[in-house]
Amino acid sequence: MSELSYEVMVNDGLPRQRDQRIPDGGPITLSRLGGRRAMSYVIATLVIVAAAADFATIPTTRQFSAYGPSHLTVLVVFAIGSAALVWIGRRQTESQARLLGRVLGALTMAIFSVALVYKLVHPAIAQSVPLQLCDLAELTAAYALWSHRKWAFTLTYFWGLPLSSQALITPDLSAPDFPNHSFVTFFALHLLIVWAAIYLTWGRGMRPGWRSYRFAVVTTLAWGAFTLCFNTIAGTDYGFLNRKPPNTSMLDLLGPWPFYLLAEIVIVGAVWALMTWPWELKRRSRLSVAIAGDKPTELHSFVTANP
């Protein structure tokens, strides 16, 4: 069997044949461990290159399909992220919560800005004006995460949990699939809105009350009235207030316009009330215990934390 001759690099940086010797007279050797390690690096590199080549062949024009692989992946990420944020939020100090909130808030604003810039590259009055309720929810969620203000948390809670979560489950997205920027920004922003509501509520212990409920209802009705007038004048359909979305949605079950708007108001108001009632019961129960226990310091701190 003929001996295989090849060049190797030794510690003086000069290439030599395998049968040559290094300057100190010792033979050039390649350990079995080093050879295996080098081979593993080569194999890993080939796998990465092959994967990259395979990914590059994915057609970028493939349209997003609800409940396809990319959508199901988003839902799995949503579930894992929600559990992780609750777990983290319950174990944080105030300074840690402030830092995480500001990081998530800044991330939300950064993605919102990128999405808005993409809309303004080819501006269209039907798409480029940030008048969707989710646009306001994104800004509000970013501020709620950054500041932990009660009013911002209130709108994030009522807008994020029932409304933005619906966008995750039944997305109205007519765009190319992942990794297209429309896909990424759409799901990233809706994920962050719902995650903000979950984190602040079950992770950090912020709670809505009936005052929060009234504030959310009045604010949402004011947005609806303004946006309905804007749509009528501009011929747009922000918030689907003037017509239903082209894709299948829950609005199809509520009848024609304008009856589905009235049905939405009733249903959303009832759902929000149910989302408030358990927290209010718990608050009143704790308040009764504090009064019965005649603990003025505990009562004062409780009332201050639960206006």
* pLDDT tens digits, 82-114: 999 999 999 999 999 999 999 999 999 999 999
Predicted pLDDT at 225 = 96
Q: Using DSSP, state whether 234 is helix, strand or coil.
A: helix
Residue 35 has pLDDT above 50, yes or no: no
- Mean pLDDT computed over 2-21: 46
Residue 13 has pLDDT above 60, yes or no: no
Say whether both 145 and 36 belong to one domain: no
Predicted pLDDT at 89 = 95
Say whether both 50 and 82 belong to one domain: no
Say whether both 140 and 32 belong to one domain: no
Q: What is the pLDDT of residues 118-170, one digit of tens each?
A: 889 889 998 899 999 999 999 999 999 999 999 999 999 999 999 888 889 88
Predicted pLDDT at 209 = 93
**Cα angle: 188, vertex 193, 198; to 5 degrees:** 120
Residue 268 burial (C-beta neighbours within 10 Å; 0-12, 13-18, 19+): middle
Residue 79 included in any domain: yes
Residue 105 included in any domain: yes
Residue 53 has pLDDT above 90, yes or no: no
User: Rounded CA gap, 273 and 113, in Å?
Assistant: 33
pLDDT band for position 4 (cuts 50, 70, 90): very low
Determine what percent of the chain is predicted with pLDDT higher than 90: 54
Say whether both 93 and 157 belong to one domain: yes
- Answer whether 0.75 is exceeded by the pTM: no
Helices in 90-132 by DSSP H: which ranges? 94-121
Determine what percent of the chain is predicted with pLDDT higher than 70: 74
Domain count across the chain: 2
Predicted pLDDT at 297 = 56
Q: Which two tokens stand for residue 11?
A: 């510690």
Predicted pLDDT at 282 = 87
Under 8 Å between Cβ of 231 and 257: no
Residue 257 included in any domain: yes
Say whether both 149 and 21 belong to one domain: no
Instruction: Give the 3-state secondary structure percentages of the chain, helix then strand then coil, rounded to 5.
Output: 70, 5, 30
- Mean pLDDT computed over 259-278: 94
Say whether both 277 and 233 belong to one domain: yes
Say whether both 36 and 100 belong to one domain: no
Q: Which two tokens stand for residue 112?
A: 């919102």
Say whether both 294 and 204 belong to one domain: yes
Predicted pLDDT at 78 = 96
Residue 1 has pLDDT above 50, yes or no: no
- Mean pLDDT computed over 36-64: 46
Predicted pLDDT at 54 = 39
Say whether both 51 and 77 belong to one domain: no
Say whether both 44 and 150 belong to one domain: no
- Mean pLDDT computed over 180-199: 94
Say whether both 73 and 111 belong to one domain: yes
Q: Which domain holds residue 42?
A: 7-56
Residue 197 has pLDDT above 80, yes or no: yes
Residue type, 139: L
The distance in angstroms from the start CA to the end CA of the chain is: 88
Query: Quick check: bond before 179 cis, omega within 30?
Result: yes
Residue 2 included in any domain: no
Residue 149 included in any domain: yes
The mean predicted confidence, pLDDT, of the chain is 81
Say whether both 34 and 74 belong to one domain: no
Predicted pLDDT at 26 = 53
